[in-house]
Structures are given as structure tokens and as C-alpha cells.
Amino acid sequence: MENKLPTITEIARRLNISASTVSRALHNHSSIGLRTKMRVQELAKELNYEPNQTAIFFQQRKTFTIGVVLPELSEAFFSAAISGIEDCAYKNKYTVLMGQSHDSEEKEKQIIETMKSHRVDGLLVSIANKTNNYDHFESLKRYNIPVVFFDRIPDMPDIHYVACNLISGTIQAINFLIKKGHRVIGMLNGPEKLAASKEREEGYIQAMKKNRLKFDPTLVVNCDLSTDKVYAATEHLLKLKRKPTAIVVFNDYVALDAVQYARRQKLRINKDICFVSYANLPISHYTAFPPMASVEQFPYLQGQKATETLLELLSNKDSGQEGTNTYYKIILESQLVIKENNIADQVL
């Protein structure tokens, strides 16, 4: 119980040498004689000595901790991403501090504040849906805490980020639909501000152009991703004069809602109306009417790359080359995954 944890000073006292010698001995410093080294290391092992990290953190102005701020762990994308982050971090002796914004800007600010005060070495952030104001990120720069954004990237200059290029995946998706005979294709897109939304639209436009189809802007609707808004957006698309026969939806979750709405309207999924979406979640495998295809965004890989990038920034910082004004912009390519015949097919 009252086993005070052994310290370097304690070891020094017992061996009648100085703390500095002990410290150096434990680090295998070359200037310490072999005999002393051995004696120190032996006693350290015997006493079960473990360095007091809090002291070291303090002294070195470094915590070997990275903060991760993301919207929602219950979304499969993020839980996969955090696995990538964690694996990479632990491999490099870093530790992961977690915070969910639940898509609230307020919460996001708080978390960032807390993490800043806990002196994390760096941050990995996927911003909240509704975040409009980026001051809390700007302030981090002044504190010299590097940030790498992933997946949900704010519209700011001079930032590091890792993202998945959705243009290619979107083009693949549209091509797929066109090949299936669709000509009027709707897009149920996310908030306009998100880079991810812009890319989807961009891909949509490019694909239409490449296929020599006219781009009809009324076929693209933006909405935040709440169920109600998704219903409304789906309704809007389905009531257009030029009614789409297929819809590309922001992601698999949203697609579930959109499908739900369509079914309430007595539409036959995959006959009257087809859906393609993003994320390629495993659950949609079990789902009643999964999208016909889904664009994989490689969350684990994104998490991993983002972490690697951050760690590199940190090691540059340590070696003193702070001011390098280069910004990492890492882009992975997305990829369309066409679903096998699903459960629903078997029903019919």
C-alpha cells in the first residue's frame, strides 16, 4: 500500500551516487562506467522502477499524447478511423485522448479547449457538421499545436489534412448508373459548406459531362443530414418534373432514410428508384434495401495516414524546423463497391 513508487532519487540514495548518474545510467549514456550502469539497472529492476512520466512530460514540454476530436463514434466511419489512429499512435508510443463533438460547434470548442489545456502534442480533427467558425482552430496555431484534419475538412487556408477524393468514386458511381440505363440521376448531397459535399457535386458534374449528358442543377439538393431533412430532400427530388430514376446519396446512413421515405411512397426500390451511396458500411449488408453500390472511403487508412502526418509534424517540431510553411494535403482515392445480390433480392 504505502509502497511509495521508487524514484530516481531513491535509487541514487541507496547507491550513494547522484541522481544525474542514475538518470544517465538508465538511458545508457556513454559517459557512465559499465559497473555503475549495471548496478543502477539492477536496482531499478529490483525496485520495479518506472519513470514518472508526468515529471518527464513537464520537463520536456511534451506529453506524447494526441487529441482526437470527431463528431460521432457510433458512426462506423469514425470508429474505423479511430482504430487506424490508435494503432498508429500506440506503435509510436503515443497515447490517444478522445472527444466527440456530437456535431455541435460548442462541444467541439470545449473539447479543443480541454485538450489544449491538457497540453496534447497535436490534434487530429474531423470537424462538426455545423461548425461555421474556425477561430478555435486558429488559436491553436498560436499555441504551436499542430492539427491534422481528416475526412471533414474545414474551408481554411494553410492547414494539413488527409482526405479521400470523392470525385473519382462519384464518377465511378455515375458511370455505373448510366451503364445500367439511368439518364436522370439525382444527388442528395450534404451541407454545402463541407468540402466533401463539393467534391460529390464536382464528381457528379464531371461524370455527366464525360457521358455527354446535360448537367441539371435542380437534380442536386443539399441538406443537413437529419432524418427530417433527408425525407424532405428525397421528397423534393421525387416530385421533380424531371424525376430521377436513381439517386446518389451522401452516405449509407442517409441512404437508409432516403430509402425509407421512398418506400413509404410505395416506390419499389431498385425498380422505380435506385440508390447509390458512400461509405460502404458492413451493416448495409443486412439491411432491407441496401444501396446498389457504395463508395468506399477507407476510414482506417485515413486515420492511419493522418496520424503518421501528425507524428511527422511533431518530429519536425522537435528538431526545431518549425517555420516550414508547407502544408500536407494527402488525398486517397475513393472506390465504388458494387454490392452483391442482397437479402432483399432474395425476398422478391
Partner DNA sequence: TAGCGATGTGCAAACGATTGCGCCGGTTTG
Partner DNA sequence: CAAACCGGCGCAATCGTTTGCACATCGCTA
User: Which residues sit at the interface with DNA, rule CB under 7 A?
Assistant: 5, 7-9, 16-21, 23-24, 26-27, 31-37, 49, 51-52, 55-56, 58-61
Residue 121 sits at φ, ψ, to 5 deg, of -75, -30
Residue closest to 196 by CA, chosen among 229, 232, 170, 216: 170
CB of 309 to a second copy, least distance (A): 20
Q: Is 104 in the site for a second copy (CB under 8 A)?
A: no
- Give the DSSP letter of residue 273: B
Cβ–Cβ < 8 Å for 154, 134: yes
Which residues are CB-neighbours of 273 under 8 A, at least 6 positions away?
A: 238, 244, 245, 246, 247, 262, 267
- Residues 276-295 close enough to bind a second copy by CB under 8 A: 283, 286-289
Q: Which three cell numbers stand for residue 144?
A: 504551436
CA 256 to chain centre: 22
Question: Collapsing DSSP states into helix, strand and coil, what is residue 269?
Answer: strand
**Which residue from 99, 122, 154, 291 is in contact with a second copy, where contact means CB under 8 A?**
99
Instruction: Report yes or no: 96 and 65 within 8 Å, Cβ to Cβ.
Output: yes
Using CA atoms of 163, 208, 241, 226 in order, give the dihedral in degrees to the nearest 10: -10
Among 260, 267, 316, 330, binds a second copy (CB under 8 A): 260
Q: How far is the C-alpha of 111 from the C-alpha of 117, rounded, in Å? A: 10
Cβ atoms of 273 and 246 within 8 Å: the answer is yes
Residue 9's binding partner among a second copy, DNA, none (Cβ under 5 to 8 angstroms by kind) is DNA
Provide the CB-side half-sphere exposure for 128 (13 A, CA).
22
Q: How far is the CB of 161 from a second copy (least distance, A)?
A: 22
Q: Number of residues in contact with a second copy, rule: CB under 8 A?
A: 58
* Among 8, 82, 166, 223, interactor with a second copy by CB under 8 A: 82
| 207 is a contact residue toward a second copy (CB under 8 A) | no
- Per CB under 8 A, the list member of 11, 22, 115, 196 interacting with a second copy is 115
Which residue, 58 or 90, has its beta carbon nearer to DNA? 58
Q: List the single partner that 192 binds among DNA, a second copy, none, CB under 5 to 8 Å by kind.
A: none
Residues of the shown chain interacting with a second copy in the complex, contacts defined by CB under 8 A: 1, 3, 5, 50-55, 57-58, 61, 63-65, 68, 73-74, 76, 79-80, 82-83, 86, 90, 93, 95-100, 102, 110-111, 114-119, 142-144, 256, 260, 263, 283, 286-289, 322-323, 343-344, 346-347
